[in-house]
Amino acid sequence: MKATRILSGIPLSDLKTGALGCLALAGLLSPCPSPAREKNATASAGDTLQEVIVTAERREETVQKIPLSITAVTGEQLQERGITRLEELAAETPGISMKTFSPGQTEYEMRGLPSSGGSSATVGLYVNDVPLAASANSYMGKAAIDPDLFDLQRVEVLRGPQGTLYGAGSMGGTIRLITAPPNAKGFDAAAQSDTSHTQHGGMNWGASGMLNLPIIDDVLALRVVGTDKYDHGFIDRIVVSPFPIGPGGTCGFVTCTRGNVQDAPVIAKYDNYNWERLLGGRTALRFTPNDKLTVDLFAMYQGIHLGGLQQADTSVGLDQLAHYQPVDIPDRLVDTFKIYSLNIVYDLGAVSFTSTTAKWIHNASWTTDDTEVGQSLDNTFFGVPAFYPNPYSNSDHVEQWSEEDRFTSQGDGPFQWVAGLFYSDLTSQVDQYNALPQLAYLSAGGAAANPDGVAYEEHTPYHLKQYAIFAEGSYRFTERWKLTVGARGYKYNAEKDINVRGFFTASGNLTPTTGVTKTDSTGASPKVNLAYTASDDTTWYAQIAKGFRPGGANSPAPVALCGNAGIPSYGADSILDYEVGEKMRFWGGALQVNADVFYIRWNDVQQLLTLPCSYPFTDNIGTARSYGPEIEVTGKVSPYVTLSLAGSYTNSEITSINSTVAGNTIGTTEQLHPGIPVLNVPKYSVSEAIALAIPVRNGLKITGRLSATTTGPFYDIDYYVQQLPSYTLMDVRLGLAGARFSGTLYLDNVTNKTAALTISTHSWNSPVPNSQQASVNRPRTVGLELNYKF
């Protein structure tokens, strides 16, 4: 009440500056007065924030009515913000952190639950009703897809475990991308073009288009979307020879720090080599023969070609935007993703039936230079000081079949429910190869046993089958109170068929090491949610929910080099999440405050570790806990000005380490100990924006947006655990919009900040102390975006 009394003494101008104070103190959750609002409780349409309808609970409802921590952004809002990729939206959404390998290869994490180890992500990703769950048995880790967001209907971000309705891999949350459906009532088309220039780089361009064709009026329609984009590179690849060998120390390697590569003779330089070309498209066919049946056929393709990875060497300073190599071996990456789905919805009267059959296929091929890392290993363990060319190639194939059938109650009765069955069959095939001539003579049995000096060759399929039955019901036992109870029973089987050979394998030569590692488990994920609707504008809720991830298998380490083969498999991990939250609207819908506080206990944490020989593997290291608040505040301080503030604070720490882990890895007891923050989790994140929409004449309006996102410090691991600093990125947009067209000038990364997004970039590679790269953001970029609706 004290805050309310203070605010009430502030004079309000026509722009309602009292709202600024309310936004600043939104965490107090106190209604802020406005004489203008009190005189007219029902605000005009221009003064009211748009309510977004979502299907997070498998039925249509507005965000403000769902007792969950959820952020929803419509396709129109994405366009207004200039957001074209999921990672851009994630940066503005509270509670989300990211681990970026390269464009299109981003792992999403929520509420202090990173996916740095294990076989599944901690955040579920859906395109429509299709679950995308990438296998960690590939270099791309748990990054499934980062699609272009043109012509999306909306994006839903659900924070907290969603194990009941969305299953394994959604224990931190779920992201749902809902594409715009075909419309059989009329023709529609849209186009978008984008041209920009990146500092320290060059020209970027992009074009997207949408065509909606009603084939049979009110019965059959086709919607086609296409995208073609090119982003110029901005990181230089520099080859120097002789490559300097740095000094030793106490790290356990001959070389502990890198030599001075900037003073070494340059024999080749390739400017801006990390270019990206994206080609994508979607086709959707909707058939509605009557008002009971809807059949949707959906197909999607996206291909990404990279000239190099978006990673810079930390040893020379990230601002140099450079990558130094001892030999001239380029990076190349080709990544393709395909989705096919059939969705059938049938209205049975009291209930509706939904069936979703889907298959997706993810292929990636990649070549890169492993010379510096290989030399560090060879020199340390075998006394080979020279830099021999060491190209590394990787080819991954991942595909999944899935089927979900569910029944959902309909109507407005006090009891609502959803129940169904789920099945998925995922297969991942990874192929790796690299060879060094000098290893032929060091191999077990000599050169005759390994004439090409194969360092490591792998052909390993990985299989994961999941079965689930789920049900969730809610009962409104008064006009204001609603209780929701749900559970998901699950079973999974994971199998890794190991087939490796080469110097850095158990045989030490071309004799294959084969075997089958299996793991399986059954369990249940319950959920209890109690909601209190104080008024049409205020909802409070409390929830307890469980989430889980399947376990998986490791490849065996070379015993001769490492002293042991490591652990063959690891078990499932799970969380128990406690949270309370609220959804509030004030001033007739002009101010919206959504907030929650959560506490999570994480059991049997899956964590990526490293043996003393530098061989990576996953183990269940112990327990952790995570807690903190999340808040989103949006307010229309006038019909033309909207302010928004979103933020989260996450305290995520390891609470115990299993005794079996200690002493088996590089510095585990020193670097991963009780009290240390969980890796890849920023301490805090804040996003602020001010948006303008000012009418001028003839239906035109001036639009503008100034936004800033701050990511707090966090810990990451390469060879060592280390803390990466916080950073702030700022963007500005100014445009002119009409009923059918808009043109926008924009400036991204206004301050030209270079930030380390992650350092644990090599899920395929053995970490060494003297070589490290960091994924970085794009430098300052200025551009023009044009949109037209036909």
Half-sphere exposure of 748 (CA within 13 A, CB side): 20
Q: Say which residues have a Cβ less than 8 Å from residue 290's Cβ, sequence separation at least 6.
A: none
Pull the structure tokens for residue 332: 């190349």
Amino acid 43: pLDDT? 44
Tens digit of pLDDT for each residue in 172-227?
899 999 999 999 999 999 999 999 999 999 999 999 999 999 999 999 999 999 99
Q: Distance (Å, rounded) from C-alpha 73 to C-alpha 91?
A: 13
Q: Summarize the chain as % helix, strand, coil (round to 5).
A: 10, 55, 35
Do 771 and 257 meet the contact criterion of CB atoms below 8 Å apart? no
Residue 713: which of 677, 748, 762, 687 has the closest Cα? 677
Q: Distance (Å, rounded) from C-alpha 288 to C-alpha 347?
A: 12
Amino acid 666: pLDDT? 47
Low-confidence ranges of the chain (pLDDT < 70): 1-46, 104, 133-144, 560, 662-672, 760-765
Count Cβ atoms below 10 Å from residue 470 Cβ, excluding itself. 24
Amino acid 611: pLDDT? 75
Q: Distance (Å, rounded) from C-alpha 247 to C-alpha 244?
A: 10
Amino acid 418: pLDDT? 96
Do 441 and 433 meet the contact criterion of CB atoms below 8 Å apart? no
Amino acid 36: pLDDT? 39
Cα Rg, the chain, nearest whole Å: 27
Which residue type occupies 301? Y
C-alpha separations of 326 from 241, 288, 314, 403, 751 in Å: 6, 61, 16, 49, 33
Amino acid 560: pLDDT? 67
For domain 42-785, the question of CATH label 2.40.170.20 is answered with yes
Residue with tokens 């590089």: 666
Q: Distance (Å, rounded) from C-alpha 762 to C-alpha 99?
A: 11
Burial of 287 (0-12, 13-18, 19+ CB in 10 A): middle
Residue 21 in 3-state DSSP?
helix
Residues forming a β-bridge with 524: 489
The structural domains of the chain, with segments of one domain joined by +, span: 42-785
Residue 513: which of 566, 446, 570 has the closest Cα? 566
Pull the structure tokens for residue 428: 């991942």
Write down the number of H helices and E strands in the chain. Answer: 10, 44
Q: Distance (Å, rounded) from C-alpha 80 to C-alpha 93?
A: 16
Q: Distance (Å, rounded) from C-alpha 108 to C-alpha 628?
A: 18
How far from chain centre, in Å, is Cα 116? 12
Q: Distance (Å, rounded) from C-alpha 709 to C-alpha 347?
A: 44
Give the chain's largest Cα–Cα span.
92
pTM: 0.88
Residue with tokens 């340390």: 380
Pull the structure tokens for residue 394: 């990787």
Q: Say which residues have a Cβ less than 8 Å from residue 102's Cβ, sequence separation at least 6.
A: 306, 309, 310, 311, 333, 775
Q: Say which residues have a Cβ less than 8 Å from residue 138's Cβ, sequence separation at least 6.
A: 364, 396, 398, 428, 430
Half-sphere exposure of 605 (CA within 13 A, CB side): 31
E-assigned strands of 162-275?
173-179, 188-198, 203-216, 220-231, 236-240, 266-270
Q: Say which residues have a Cβ less than 8 Å from residue 693's Cβ, sequence separation at least 6.
A: 640, 642, 701, 702, 703, 737
DSSP code at position 327: S
Burial of 398 (0-12, 13-18, 19+ CB in 10 A): buried
Q: Distance (Å, rounded) from C-alpha 172 to C-alpha 706?
A: 30
Do 607 and 61 meet the contact criterion of CB atoms below 8 Å apart? no
Amino acid 39: pLDDT? 38
DSSP sequence for 732-744: EEEEEE-SSEEEE
Residue 720 in 3-state DSSP?
coil
Q: Distance (Å, rounded) from C-alpha 609 to C-alpha 501?
A: 22
Q: Say which residues have a Cβ less than 8 Å from residue 391's Cβ, sequence separation at least 6.
A: 329, 367, 368, 369, 370, 434
Q: Distance (Å, rounded) from C-alpha 463 to C-alpha 650?
A: 34
Asked, as a colleague might, if the bond just before 242 is cis with ω within 30 of 0, I would say yes
Q: Distance (Å, rounded) from C-alpha 666 to C-alpha 653?
A: 20
Do 726 and 710 meet the contact criterion of CB atoms below 8 Å apart? yes
- The span from the first CA to the last CA of the chain, in angstroms, equals 52
Pull the structure tokens for residue 88: 């851009």
Residue positions counted in the chain:
790
Q: Distance (Å, rounded) from C-alpha 467 to C-alpha 490?
A: 6
DSSP code at position 257: S
